[in-house]
Structure 1
Amino acid sequence: MRFGCDGPSQEEAGSLGWSLSEESRALKVRATPTLSAADAPVKAIAGQAFEAVEGFWIREPWLLTAACPQAGTEPEKRSQQDQGAAGVPQTVGIAQFFAARGARTVRRSGRAYEATTKLDEGDQPSGGFDLVLRGRLVALPNGRVIACRVAESGRPSCVISVEFSKVSIERADTHEQLAQWGPS
């Protein structure tokens, strides 16, 4: 999933973003899960069967390749959607569902995936970053891997159930992997 296309953001702002210190040349990239059990569509899908749900709403699920939005897309709407702001309909998400009896060591519990690296003088990231999610599809108790619910607005929200095995953050311009979580 491509993010950070609009350039650096404030460290605290949004769930997906990056910053670059011109002084120290420290590049900091973060991807905080945007989908949780507290989200209304996820509550409707998960019910009482799961203690926690962690994952990401896919900003533009209709894109078939990782790419920054085309020029002319309204940045303020993209920014709101990145943050999962109220009033912005989330339509497709990918998440791991955790039962109460499951292992808690693999849960992020709201913590961001963060990477910090030092860039060479003159090196400037362009084209954003890729959040790469690897894993396998996992059936929910109803036997389905994709669960959908229709909101009051009539728009469906769907969540794809997975078990994440690896998560990584990569530079879009160089494809350099900045960090990886999960077994190596």
Structure 2
Amino acid sequence: MMHARGNAGPVRRNVLAALALAAVVPGISGCEQKPDPTTEETAAPKPEKSSAAVDTPTIGPLPVVGRSDLLAAAAAAADEVAAGNSLPKSNLQLTNRSFELRLPFACDGGILGKWGEWSFDPKTRVLRVTFRPQNWGDDPIFNRIAAGAAYDTAEGFWIERPWTRAEQCPPVPEPSPVSKTDPGNRIAPTPVTSGSVDGSLALVQYFSPDAPRTLRRGNRPYTYTAKIAAEGQAPPLGLRIKLVGRIAGFTDGQPIHCVLNTSSKPPICGIAVEFTQVILEDAATGESLTEWGG
């Protein structure tokens, strides 16, 4: 009996030591401690990783090609042809793009738009407008511009004053100076015409032999007749047509072809297009008076 009581002392001391250690070191007893609710609620949440680390840019429709872009592309093409080089590859980006271009006519001074006519009757207050595209079906220049592509006819408009991006009526030139030798006579200005031999840049639509004839304008003019409502209201100070369509391009993919007749004059260039809409506008206000197509 004395021997059993003697061994109980060390065992008891070990048990007490274990309990003391468990009280000092959390979790050593095998019991889980409950987290402090206050600490858990105020802890900042971990940011979640985004499934799309890189944003993919959205590609929208290409902007409409305007007069300034067409003039720049035509100048680049004419420059290369005049130098005997190939057409610029930079122009290829214009093919199959939409375009808009305005051509003024009925302007004060009468130097523009010989392809259009207009009249205004002050008594009836009726405005009459007639214009038509030019037909180049038998023109050898446009046959060369087509570069071997088969077509029945070609229609379009010359871009007058291709040295400016302006689409409104030009300012009226100042009167010619009086001749010192004969003060009673004024020097007559040089007449300006817009015939096919005088143009240098044209919007041209080639019609293939199998194209529907209903798409061709032919000899049918665009006509507009309207009575100005307000009595005493003046007619428009100028008119212009807005041409809307698609840059079609030639068989080589280029949108513009140029031909050189003589080294002393600039090349003659044609922009291959498809006209989809023709709009008659008041040149002063930009108001649309009527439209065809579309």
List per-residue Cα deviations over 1:10-51 (Å, max 9, x = no partner).
xxx942121111222110112211352233421221256110
- Structure 2 residue identity aligned to 1:143: G
Q: 251, 255, 262: which is aligned to 1:145? A: 255
Give the CA deviation at 1:99: 0.2
**Structure with max Cα Rg:** 2
Structure 1 CA distance for aligned equivalents of residues 219 and 261 of structure 2: 25
Q: Within the alignment, does 1:6 sit opposite 2:108 as a pair?
A: yes
Cα–Cα, structure 1 residues 45 and 182, in superposed 2: closer, same or farther, change >3 Å? same
Cα–Cα, structure 1 residues 110 and 142, in superposed 2: closer, same or farther, change >3 Å? farther
Gaps of 5+ in 2: 1-102, 175-187
Gaps of 5+ in 1: none
TM-score where L is the length of structure 2:
0.54
Which residue is equivalent to 2:216? 107
Q: Within the alignment, does 1:156 sit opposite 2:256 as a pair?
A: no
Q: Secondary structure at the match of 2:191?
A: helix
Q: What does 1:32-43 correspond to in 2, within 5 Å? A: 32-43=132-143
TM-score where L is the length of structure 1:
0.83
Cα–Cα, structure 1 residues 174 and 139, in superposed 2: closer, same or farther, change >3 Å? same
Q: What does 1:1-80 correspond to in 2, within 5 Å? A: 1-6=103-108, 14-46=114-146, 47=148, 49-72=150-173, 77-78=191-192, 80=193
- Structure 2 residue identity aligned to 1:132: K
Q: Secondary structure at the match of 1:45?
A: helix
Structure 1 outlier segments of 4+, above 4 Å: 73-76
Structure 1 CA distance for aligned equivalents of residues 131 and 288 of structure 2: 14
Cα–Cα, structure 1 residues 130 and 76, in superposed 2: closer, same or farther, change >3 Å? farther
Give the CA deviation at 1:94: 0.4
Give the CA deviation at 1:121: 2.0
Q: Secondary structure at the match of 1:125?
A: coil
Q: Secondary structure at the match of 2:214?
A: coil
**Which is worse superposed, 155-164 or 45-54?**
45-54
Q: Within the alignment, does 1:123 sit opposite 2:233 as a pair?
A: yes
Structure 2 CA distance for aligned equivalents of residues 107 and 155 of structure 1: 30
Cα–Cα, structure 1 residues 35 and 159, in superposed 2: closer, same or farther, change >3 Å? farther
Which residue is equivalent to 2:242? 132
- 8 Å CA contact 1:7–1:128 kept in 2: the answer is no
Instruction: Among all aligned residue pairs of Structure 1 and Structure 2, give the percentage whose two residues are the same amino acid.
Output: 35
**Which is worse superposed, 168-177 or 117-126?**
117-126
- 8 Å CA contact 2:119–2:127 kept in 1: the answer is yes
- 8 Å CA contact 1:117–1:178 kept in 2: the answer is no
- Structure 1 residue identity aligned to 2:122: E
Q: Secondary structure at the match of 2:213?
A: coil
* Higher strand proportion: 1
Q: What value does the CA root-mean-square deviation take over the aligned residues?
A: 2.4
